Structure 1
Amino acid sequence: MTDRTLYLVTCGAPLASRVEDGVRAARERGWNPYVLPTDAALPWLAEQDLVGVPVLVGNRAPGEPRRTPKADAVAVVPTTFNTLNAWANGTANTYPLTVLCAALGSRIPIAAVPFAKHDLAGHPAWTASLAVLRYMGVHIVDPHDGSTSSLEPLSSGTGECVAENLRWDWVLNLLNVA
């Protein structure tokens, strides 16, 4: 067992179907992963084998102790239009967004894989939010090829194919994994 904690935040898009693979890859690299899904991601997790992996849903109750150790790094795979914009704006109205906002403020290593089609990626809030997150040190990873210097929106109907071809090392290599 390791003492390095990785929060794996996942949003509701086809790439969420690969969380099980991400958990396995993280463990192979010595991370102790915790999955923090948005409500929209839950259906994508239903058929995955996440037995033995803490999947944290909802805020903790008043007086309830912390459910996780402090994160050493965060991977956001995928981050959708809604979550990415809320995160960059500092909107902390869900458990995953609260965690993301706190991680950004703490300046721990973060890698995010945006997943948005052309129409949403063409909205000015998307470009502004990406700029804010990059400014704060978030590694933005293109889901098509792992590039951190460019980001291509998804073409309609290609989400499953793009998700299938994602390599988790594109994300984990950015988090100072030994």
Structure 2
Amino acid sequence: MTDRTLYIVTCGAPLASRVADGVSAARLRGWTPYVLPTDAARPWLEGQDLADVPILTGNRKPTEARRAPKADALAVVPATFNTLNAWANGNANTYPLTTLCAALGSRTRTVAVPFAKHDLAGHPAWLASLAVLRYAGVRIVDPHDGSTASLEPIESGTGDRVAENFRWDWVLGELESSGEIRGVSQ
């Protein structure tokens, strides 16, 4: 197994409570993980065993060296309504969004696990943003069952249960599957 760098971008929703599980699963599969939380995700990380995992927040200063090697892949778990729409629209106004936008531009293998309730998923921007990201090569994984063929919104009040039943193997399997992203071998 080769050592590969995985950025785990996490947003503020119940599935962020499983980041430590993702770190462990990634390490078992030969990845070196780095966690990039949005501001809303930081409270979800409290109490998780992430002591030795680099957590990258905020932009580095011009005089600072690069804090992490270039990512071989990115996992966006969970991808909330706000982050997913901003990312699809090219808004790079936070460190996690800058990283996500750069990954699209460099065609870095990326898997996203959208996590939005019915009312937000019913907004027209949601479907448009999913279409943009899919077109750009992002693999979309349903947090309920790991499906890449369909995506169901989160029923209000069930976020914790969906998070509890989520399997990181769904994400890592998609990252490791062979294939091409927009004609570029990965």
> In which range does the TM-score fall when normalised by the shorter chain?
over 0.9
Structure 1 residue ranges, 4+ long, deviating more than 4 angstroms after superposition: none
The aligned counterpart of 1:155 is: 155
Aligned to 2:134: 134
Mapping for residues 17-166 of structure 1, pairs under 5 Å: 17-166=17-166
Given that residues 29 and 177 in structure 1 are in contact (C-alpha distance below 8 angstroms), is that contact kept between their aligned partners in structure 2? Answer: no
| Structure 1 spans left out of the alignment, 5+ residues | none
Asked if the contact 1:80–1:116 (Cα under 8 Å) also holds between the matched residues in 2, the reply is: yes
Secondary structure of the structure 2 residue equivalent to 1:156 = coil
Map Cα deviations across residues 5-64 of structure 1 (whole Å, 9 max, x no partner): 000000000000000000000000000000000000000001101011000111101221
Question: One-letter code of the match for 2:14?
Answer: P
Identity of aligned residues (%): 79
- Encode CA deviations 1:134-163: one digit per residue, 9 max, x unaligned: 001100000000000100001100000000
Structure 2 residue identity aligned to 1:137: G
Q: Distance in 2 between matches of 1:10 and 1:72?
A: 17
- Sort the Cα spacing of 1:100 and 1:109 in 2 relative to 1 into closer, same or farther, 3 A: same
Stretches of structure 2 that go unaligned for 5 or more consecutive residues are 179-186
CA RMSD of aligned residues (A): 1.3
Q: Secondary structure at the match of 1:36?
A: strand
Aligned 8 A contact 1:4 1:30 in 2:
yes
Of 10-19 and 60-69, the range deviating more from structure 2: 60-69
TM-score, normalised relative to structure 2: 0.93
* Count of residues paired in the alignment: 178
Paired letter, 2:77: V
Please give the alpha-carbon distance, in whole angstroms, between the structure 2 residues aligned to 1:80 and 1:160: 15
| 1:82-119 superposed Cα distances (whole Å, 9 cap, x missing partner) | 00000000000000000000001110110000000000
Give the Cα–Cα distance (whole angstroms) in 2 for the partners of residues 117 and 42 of structure 1.
20
| Separation in 1, partners of 2:100, 2:110 | 9
TM-score, scaled to structure 1: 0.98
CA distance in 1, matches of 2:66, 2:155: 40
Corresponding residue for residue 167 of structure 1: 167
Q: Is the 8 A contact 1:10 1:16 kept in 2?
A: yes
CA distance in 1, matches of 2:39, 2:62: 21
- Give the aligned residue type for 1:131: A
Shift in Å at residue 3 of structure 1?
3.3
